[in-house]
Amino acid sequence: MAEFKEISPNAPAGAKLANWLENRFPTAFDAYRTHISEYYAPKNFNFWYIFGSLALAVLVIQIVTGIFLVMHYKPDASLAFASVEYIMRDVSGGSLIRYMHSTGASAFFVVVYLHMFRGLIYGSHRKPRELVWIFGCAIFLCLMAEAFMGYLLPWGQMSYWGAQVIVNLFAAIPFIGPDLALLIRGDYVVGDATLNRFFSFHVIAVPLVLLGLVVAHILALHDVGSNNPDGVEIKGPNAPRDANGKPLDGVPFHPYYTVHDIFGFSVFLMAFSAVVFFAPEFGGYFLEYNNFIPADPLQTPTHIAPVWYFTPYYSMLRAITSEMVYALIACVLAAAGLGVLKAKLPGVVQAGVVGSTVVAVALMLSIDAKFWGVVVMGASVLILFFLPWLDRSPARSIRYRPDWHKYLYGVFVINFLVLGYLGVQPPSPIGERVSQLGTLFYFGFFLLMPWWSRIGEPKPVPERVRYVAH
């Protein structure tokens, strides 16, 4: 048992209370010192570094508003839509809570996308933070599952038919597809069993996993230290330190970055409140107009599209047609040919590459294009997990890479936005061609990264972080 810390009888009441608590719960105070007051973060953080704390704040908003919504929601196919209407019309403050939750879902993805982009441009996925990035990608995947399952709960037209389309995609998987789709639905069509399954996962199972991953993400980050816009390690073996061993290029997270994050959250809250109070549907992007119509299994909407944060991946799914499969086969053959001709591989390995290529091409020709669309959609998210090993640039941060890297990242962002826009629109021949090109560019950006990330002469990286007081 640890010894109790004594305090002067003349100390202020607040200090006495803190001492009393610390003597009885020292683990909490040790965690506070380790992860907040004595956690040294680089002193050159910019505005890009507020999005991690904003994601945590939005998660709290979603949990709190979700608890109040569950108090009045009925997970029953015959009552779900009416219960949401009851929350909106008769529960005191119910419309505010519902709009906060629906706006929070979109805000969550906005913040997470920006947070991931910051990690991409500043090299936060690079050694020694590979596990931090993997936990972050797992959070993103978990967040997508949570949003998809929650999307069905209002039991509106778009909720119902969107879930019908997405669940039916699993039926395209050879051999196990029909049984897998049946397992997910719990019935032969999306119905009461599906609603109850999605409700239980949305409210209990997925949030528990999500919270665990968030804790692991933060702990892994604090174990290796935060990255910064210069990509210079402030806690490395050669990093300058003071007489007490504290990094000279770092400052305590509290109070410097707690104030920094509170300011960022205040700005975010103003924008968030503006949407909640003045444009909660956001032109049909946050809440589709069809979702204010009760689900009707006998009437299909003229155009079914997922919520905006899923549309880039949905656009890639729709891009995989029968003729697009031939383009993918050409890419596989080109990659295999370059691997055999350029790489100095042993004969056995070359034979293995050729054999694998033949098998892959045979499978692509024999299995329906719809299945490969599902594969491409899943791969577009899973490929993010491998980013730490795909990026081979000598410079970690975009600041010190060749200037043309910035333009390439800019084109990547524009391409992603275009794919998102096309995913909202009804199918068209021109849109199909653009989405096919966008899909090829998306995967080319990552799969060719080991090659293009090493091209060009990086700028000299400073030994210490660059910091200008502001």
What is the residue-wise DSSP string for 137-151? HHHHHHHHHHHHHHH
Amino acid letter at 288?
E
- Average pLDDT value for residue range 239-243: 83
The pLDDT tens digits of the residues spanning 306-364 come to 899 999 999 999 999 988 988 888 888 888 877 777 666 676 767 787 888 888 888 88
- The answer to whether residue 35 scores a pLDDT higher than 70 is yes
- The answer to whether residue 470 scores a pLDDT higher than 70 is no
Q: 310-452 adopts what CATH topology?
A: Cytochrome Bc1 Complex; Chain C (1.20.810)
Higher pLDDT, 118 or 336: 118
Q: 38-234+246-285 adopts what CATH topology?
A: Cytochrome Bc1 Complex; Chain C (1.20.810)
Q: Exposed/middle/buried for 43, CB within 10 Å: 0-12, 13-18, 19+? A: middle
Identity of the highest mean pLDDT range in 300-304, 409-413, 457-461 = 409-413
What are all long-range contacts of 456-461, with beta carbons under 8 Å and residues at least 24 apart? 456/401, 456/402, 456/404, 456/405, 457/402, 458/393, 458/394, 458/395, 458/400, 458/401, 458/402, 459/395, 459/399, 459/400, 459/401, 460/400, 461/230, 461/231, 461/232, 461/395, 461/396, 461/397, 461/400
Cα four-point dihedral sign 320, 324, 327, 332: positive
The pLDDT tens digits of the residues spanning 8-33 come to 888 898 888 888 888 888 888 888 88
Percent of the chain with pLDDT over 70: 97
Query: Taking the CA of residue 164 as centre, how many other CA atoms within 13 Å lie in the half-sphere pointing to its CB?
Result: 20
Instruction: Give the model's pLDDT for residue 83.
Output: 96
Amino acid letter at 185?
R
Residue with tokens 């506070």: 32
Instruction: Give the model's pLDDT for residue 1.
Output: 55
Quote the CA–CA distance of 69 and 63 in Å, as a whole number. 10
Cα four-point dihedral sign 297, 301, 307, 312: positive
Cα four-point dihedral sign 153, 155, 161, 162: negative
Task: Pinpoint the alpha helices (H) of 201-346.
Answer: 206-224, 258-278, 311-319, 322-342
- Average pLDDT value for residue range 129-154: 95
* Contact (Cβ atoms closer than 8 angstroms) between residue 358 and residue 350: no
Instruction: Give the model's pLDDT for residue 344.
Output: 66
- So where are the chain's domains? 38-234+246-285, 310-452
DSSP-based three-state secondary structure for 238: coil
Instruction: Give the model's pLDDT for residue 276.
Output: 96
Beta-carbon contacts of residue 150 (< 8 Å; ≥ 6 apart): 105, 198, 202
Cα angle value 8/12/14 (rounded, 5°): 115
Query: Taking the CA of residue 225 as centre, how many other CA atoms within 13 Å lie in the half-sphere pointing to its CB?
Result: 24
